[in-house]
Amino acid sequence: MSEALQLQGRHLLLGLSGGIAGYKVAELVRLLTKAGATVQVMMTEAAEQFITAVTLQALSNRPVVTSQWDAREANNMAHINLSREADLMLIAPASADFIAKLAQGRADELLSLTALARPMERCPLLVAPAMNREMWAHPATQRNVAQIKADGATVLGPAAGDQACGEIGDGRMLEAAELFDEIVAFLQPKLLAGRKLLITAGPTFEPIDPVRGITNLSSGKMGFSIARAAADAGAEVSLVAGPVNLPTPRGVRRIDVQTAQQMYEAVLPRASVNDVFVATAAVADWRPAASAEHKIKKDGSGQAPSIAMAENRDILAAVAALPDRPYCVGFAAESQDLLKHASEKRLRKNIPLIVGNLGPATFGRDDNTLLLVDERGHREIPCNDKLSLARELVREIATRLQENA
Ligand code: CTP
Is 123 labeled as catalytic in the residue annotation? no
282 CA → ligand 1 middle, Å: 7
Residue 304 covered by a domain: no
pLDDT: which is higher, 3 or 332: 332
369 CA → ligand 1 middle, Å: 19
Q: What is the pLDDT of residue 83?
A: 80
Between CA 249 and CA 247 the distance in angstroms is 6
- Find the CATH number of the domain harbouring 131: 3.40.50.1950
Q: What atom in ligand 1 is closest to the CA of residue 318?
A: 7
Domains held by the chain: number: 2
Q: Which pTM does this prediction carry?
A: 0.91
Range scoring the smallest mean pLDDT among 74-83, 132-141, 239-248, 358-367: 358-367
Q: What is the pLDDT of residue 238?
A: 98
Strands 212-214 and 377-385: unpaired
Residue 302 covered by a domain: no
Q: Residue 3: pLDDT above 80?
A: no
Residue 334 covered by a domain: yes
Q: Which residues line ligand 1 (CB under 6 A)?
A: 200, 260, 279, 281, 283, 285, 312, 314-316, 330-333, 345
Q: Say if CB 214 and CB 288 are below 8 A apart.
A: yes
Residue 41 covered by a domain: yes
Q: What atom in ligand 1 is closest to the CA of residue 329?
A: 15
Q: What is the mean pLDDT of residues 27-42?
A: 98
> Which distant-in-sequence residues (6+ apart) come within 8 Å of 211 by Cβ?
295
Q: Residue 147: pLDDT above 80?
A: yes
**Mean pLDDT score of the chain:** 95
Residue 295 covered by a domain: no
Q: Residue 359: pLDDT above 80?
A: no
Q: What is the pLDDT of residue 164?
A: 87
214 CA → ligand 1 middle, Å: 16
Question: Could you list the residue range(s) of the whole structural domain that residue 65 is in?
Answer: 3-187
- Residues 203 and 163 placed together within one structural domain of the fold: no
Ligand 1 pocket test, candidate residues 205, 216, 239, 285, most atoms within 8 A of CB? 285
- Residues 45 and 181 placed together within one structural domain of the fold: yes
- Of 82, 109, 86, 112, the closest CA to residue 32 belongs to 86
* Model confidence pLDDT, tens digit, residues 73-106: 888 887 788 888 899 999 999 999 999 999 999 9
Share of the chain above pLDDT 70, in %: 99
Confidence bin at 110 (pLDDT 50/70/90)? very high
What does the CA dihedral 311, 312, 314, 318 come to, rounded to 10 degrees? 110
- Residues 52 and 97 placed together within one structural domain of the fold: yes
- Residues 30 and 178 placed together within one structural domain of the fold: yes
Write the DSSP string, 259-305.
SHHHHHHHHHHHHTT-SEEEE--B--SEEESS--SSPPPP-SSSPPP
**Ligand 1, atom 21: nearest CA belongs to which residue?**
332
Q: Say if CB 129 and CB 155 are below 8 A apart.
A: yes
ω into 382 cis (within 30 of 0): no
Q: What is the mean pLDDT of residues 125-153?
A: 97
Q: Residue 16: pLDDT above 90?
A: yes
249: buried, middle or exposed (CB in 10 Å: 19+, 13-18, 0-12)?
Answer: buried
Q: Residue 315: pLDDT above 90?
A: yes
Task: Please give the distance of CA 206 from its chain centroid, rounded to a whole number.
Answer: 29
48: buried, middle or exposed (CB in 10 Å: 19+, 13-18, 0-12)?
Answer: middle
- In residues, how long is the chain? 405
Residue 298 covered by a domain: no
Q: Say if CB 65 and CB 86 are below 8 A apart.
A: no
- Residues 169 and 204 placed together within one structural domain of the fold: no
Strand partners for 12: 39, 88
Confidence bin at 280 (pLDDT 50/70/90)? very high
- Residues 183 and 201 placed together within one structural domain of the fold: no
Q: What is the pLDDT of residue 351?
A: 97
Write phi, then psi, for 169 (nearest 5 degrees): 165, -165
Q: Residue 325: pLDDT above 90?
A: yes
Between CA 61 and CA 54 the distance in angstroms is 10
Number of H helices, E strands in the chain: 13, 19
The long-range contacts involving 343-349, CB below 8 angstroms and separated by at least 24 positions, are: 343/373, 343/378, 346/373, 346/374, 348/317, 349/314, 349/316, 349/317, 349/320
Q: What is the pLDDT of residue 275?
A: 98
Write the DSSP string, 320-370.
HTSTTPPEEEEEEEESS-HHHHHHHHHHHHT-SEEEEEETTTTTT-SEEEE
161 CA → ligand 1 middle, Å: 42
Q: Which of 187, 215, 234 is the last residue of a domain?
A: 187
- Find the CATH number of the domain harbouring 350: 3.40.50.10300
Q: What atom in ligand 1 is closest to the CA of residue 330?
A: 15
Q: Which of 187, 216, 231 is the last residue of a domain?
A: 187
Q: Residue 367: pLDDT above 80?
A: yes
**Ligand 1, atom 20: nearest CA belongs to which residue?**
332
171 CA → ligand 1 middle, Å: 45
Q: Is 66 left (phi over 0), alpha (psi -120 to 50) or beta?
A: alpha
* Model confidence pLDDT, tens digit, residues 174-230: 999 999 999 999 999 999 999 999 999 999 999 999 999 999 989 999 999 999 999
